[in-house]
Amino acid sequence: MPTDTSPGALPVRAPLALVPGEPVLDVVIPVFNEEKDLGPCVRRLHDHLTRTFPYPFRITVADNASTDRTPEIAAGLAAALDCVRSTRLEEKGRGRALRTVWSGSDAPVLAYMDVDLSTDLNALLPLVAPLISGHSDLAIGTRLARSSRVVRGAKREFVSRAYNLLLRSSLAARFSDAQCGFKAIRREVAERLLPLVEDTGWFFDTELLVLAERAGLRIHEVPVDWVDDPDSTVHIVKTATEDLKGVWRVGRALAVGALPLDRLARPFGDDPRDRTAVPGVDGGLARQLIGFCTVGVLSTLLYLVLYSAFRGGAGPQLANGIALLLSAVANTAANRRLTFGVRGRERAVRHQAQGLVVFGIGLALTSGSLAALAAATPDPAHGTELAVLITANLAATVLRFLLLRAWVFPERRGTDPRTSTDPRTSTSKEGR
């Protein structure tokens, strides 16, 4: 996966400082062999922006190695219309086109839309307004909101909903519509996100959104009116296959912590929680307790399932040891990432080793409880065993949290665990 080489953190999110005469918005239209639709599309978009958009704008036609008259038409439009320009790429790929134009643009808000203009242009100003005002980092049009009005065939409807369901189930995505060709992003965010995005085709914007969401950036959604283009040249099977490969690649990278997303989780300074520090109260404790309890409940359920599964073929002590070991490894990994915000592979082995020490203490508590139960009752019922183990695990859980927080994942004094650059996770430019 690509790595982020941009120095420093993202700045505080704020309204744009507009410069007279310079474009606020750069709308990119990626095209491949669109000689029929390109002219009407650009003229219609140019007319709409001229009449309704209150700031200077630019329209950029990004030609993806077209073999028809598309480059000639794009050049003609750039010569005939103010605020229109064209650029030529010798390789195909919508993602490649967007990366190239966005990386070189001087506009503070960058957007793109499909050449067929399936999305009603009245949604364009609501799309970019939260980015101009400083409210959001990215904005997307969604065809799946209740207030959206969509006209398209059953096959495309099924494919779209199935794909977004896949993203929710596999990558825990919370945005509603990944594939709508109607998106915008603030330039300073794009500068940090683009080096992390590997795909150059149709999966590009999905990958962009997943990484942005995982980094804690704000994504604004705008319900749109959308009419399917029956002449669309998108190959559904091929695109779906590439998307599935992208989902697997991104999911694997996120699972192993291979992406430096902490560089994007900007300490905005506009979060009210950053301005309401209470003397004597650790602001990160409540968040860590919630995360630890959530992980604890899940790992306890995993432990009980494993114990019950191994109990039939082994004695209670051996079943307890195996179940506790497996659930402890999962518990340490989950707490490392979710509760204490440690990402990447640095010190992962050390953290697991320290977690196993904590596991040993839990094992002693639960094993001792089982031994005491066996001494008191030679043949205890299975339900009684579980009740004793749950009680012992509750005691071990309290001790586990204290040890994890103070010993395994200690926070540096005087830092906010939500926003600090921790030596466990940060990497200097020299070491990257």
Catalytic residue among 114, 205, 262, 422: 205
* Burial (CB count <10 Å: 0-12, 13-18, 19+), residue 235: exposed
How far is residue 31's CA from residue 39's CA, in Å, rounded to a whole number? Answer: 11
Beta strands in 190-283 (DSSP E): 219-223, 225-227
CA 58 from chain center: how many Å? 29
Q: Are 85 and 26 in contact (CB under 8 A)?
A: no
Distance of alpha carbon 187 from alpha carbon 429, whole angstroms: 22
Give catalytic status of residue 229 as yes or no. no
Q: Is-contact 321 341, C-beta < 8 A?
A: no
CB within 8 Å of 1: residues ≥ 6 apart: 196, 198, 249, 253, 258, 259
Task: Report how far apart the first and last C-alpha atoms of the chain are (Å, whole number).
Answer: 13
| Helix H or strand E segment including 234 | none
Which residues are designated catalytic? 205
